[in-house]
Amino acid sequence: MNITLRAEVVPSLVLAAETAEELMTPNPVSVRDNATIQEAVALLIDKGISAAPVIDRAGRPVGVLSRSDILVHGREKPVYLSPAPEYFHRADLTTAEGETLPEGFEVERVDRTRADEMMTPVVFSVTPHTPAAKVVEDMLALKVHRLFVVDPAGVLVGVISALDVLRYLRP
């Protein structure tokens, strides 16, 4: 009786990039540290991204704001509605300038929370010259989905996401 075993050969994957600069997406979308929650939500949704670096006036990353951070904020800061009055005084239906509010007009309580109050205040970064293999090692060790690329002055120049790494894998 002859038994033949076939070993399947799985091709190895190779990272076809040498440095972080090759892997990165340059000029990433970012959120100002003083942006409101409404501005941050609009940015993430409009750009179709799950997180963005939060930058200070000098363009240096000071944190990361993700959709998860915003969900946690919403869960931790419930807004309770005040009971609706049974009647309104005429003054209640005019603006400070005396303009009458149109029928059906609603007033919204705006959340004044800023991005720097909701963000995760940790930035994991590499330089453009960091070896690509080190980028992957860092992402795995830190258990993060993205690393930010900063220049020698600490200014944000790019982002490397897990998808960016996958784009450079070759058999």
CATH superfamily of the 14-82+113-170 domain: CBS-domain (3.10.580.10)
In angstroms, rounded to a whole number, what is the distance separating the alpha carbons of residues 148 and 80?
38
pTM: 0.74
pLDDT along the chain (171 residues), means of 10: 72 92 95 94 94 92 93 77 63 71 69 91 96 97 95 94 94 89
Question: Three-state secondary structure along the chain?
Answer: CCCCCCCCCCCCCEECCCEHHHHCEECCCCEECCCEHHHHHHHHHHHCCCEEEEECCCCCEEEEEEHHHHHHHHHHCCCCCCCCCCCCCHHHHECCCCCECCCCCCCCCCCCCEHHHHCECCCCEECCCCEHHHHHHHHHHHCCCEEEEECCCCCEEEEEEHHHHHHCEEC
Specify the pLDDT at position 9.
Answer: 74
- Residues 54, 68: Cα–Cα separation, whole Å: 15
Residue 74 CB neighbour total at 10 angstroms? 15
User: In the chain, what are the domain boundaries?
Assistant: 14-82+113-170
pLDDT number for residue 152: 93
> For residue 10, what pLDDT is reported?
74
